[in-house]
Amino acid sequence: MKVMVTGGAGFIGSALCRHLVNDLGHHVVNVDKMTYAATEGSTAMLRGSTLYRFHRLDICDRDAMQKLMTAEDIDGVIHLAAESHVDRSIDGPGAFIETNVIGTFSLLQASRSYHDNLPASRKEKFRFHHVSTDEVFGELPLDDGLFTEDTAYAPSSPYSASKAASDHLALAWYKTYGLPIVLSNCSNNYGPYHFPEKLIPLMIINGLEGKQLPVYGKGANVRDWLHVEDHARALAMVFTRGRLGQSYNIGGRNERTNLAVVEAIADLLDQEVPLKSGSRRCLITFVGDRPGHDLRYAIDASKIEGELGWRAKYTFETGLKDTISWYMRNQDWWQPLRAARYAGERLGKASS
């Protein structure tokens, strides 16, 4: 298949591009605007492949997107292009509405026009996979419940509200216009090539340098952690085999409090590169909580496991150890990003 991946230079998008090309042998057309969170290095290993092409475009440019779909003769779209950092959405919500809502609308319209003009045999095979987040469901109590595909939407932040809106648009285009849509909602991702502002890479990098490890509130907020390579496998399965008009929740079944995650990172770093001054747990600092901070996310992945046979391969312990090793080996990837794009106060903020 020839698959257009939007946001393919981002964290999850680049993992998907690598999986589609290297593991599955699909042709990939990567479309990315190359904003602050996109990195050329995350897909550098694909540049020489005849199965991979990159186009620097904005998904809000509907005409350009439709022309590219036609020129590349694509078989489907996996849409990941999005603004995705909650702190940034609180500071500047406009960019999230522009990209996540207007951008998704423009891409749906371009895909609809392209799909309408395909011959019947090609039209039946075309798919549009909209990739979303579990944050659209709001929060869960600490001790009860899981998000299912039937959980009512209750977004808490400008980011999650913009993703909720894009989810509704995608399913509306399926019901109203017959655009062949599948949708997925994932839990918190982690792994190689994760941008340095996110919780796990931020704690790894600060820990390596002996800096403070800032944690929101008391660190009691719970997240379900999913390794990005497990997520990439799941996305490919949903895109190729998911039922049209259906959504699939993708989670790692690895719930941890934010404090437990930071403590685990500190302990693993202590084993690899001990500090002269003692344990890195002493670097943990509690900072004021962010507005609208959801208490707990947890996904029931029974549907994708039962229907498509997907299972997460990584436990949190194996995945976290692998991730820390990657950041230690690949300082030449993250050091320029931090030096070029971040002031000290931004890197000092907690996340998740």
Name the residues annotated as catalytic. 134-135, 159
- Name 321's bridge partners: none
Residue length of the chain? 352
Return the ∠ at Cα 155 (arms to 151 and 157), rounded to 5°: 155
Q: Contact 174/181 with Cβ under 8 angstroms?
A: yes
* Spatial CA neighbour of 226 closest among 179, 184, 167: 184
Question: How far is 158 from 86, CA to CA, in rounded Å?
Answer: 7
Q: Which DSSP string corresponds to 229-256?
A: HHHHHHHHHHHHHSPTT-EEEE--S-EE
Q: What residue type is assigned to position 226 of the chain?
A: L
CA-CA-CA-CA dihedral for 82, 87, 91, 96, to nearest 10: 10
Query: Which two structure tokens, joined as six digits, stand for 265?
Result: 């990172």
Q: Which DSSP string corresponds to 60-126?
A: T-HHHHHHHHHHHT-SEEEE------HHHHHH-THHHIIIIIIIHHHHHHHHHHHHHTS-HHHHHH-
16: left (phi over 0), alpha (psi -120 to 50) or beta: alpha
Query: Which two structure tokens, joined as six digits, stand for 99?
Result: 């990209």
- Name 6's bridge partners: 31, 79
| Local structure of 181: helix, strand or coil | strand
Q: Are strands 2-6 and 76-79 parallel, antiparallel or unpaired?
A: parallel
Adjacency order of strands within the sheet including 255-257: 188-190, 222-227, 255-257
- Phi then psi dihedrals of residue 350, to 5 deg: -75, 175
Supply the DSSP symbol for 1. Answer: -
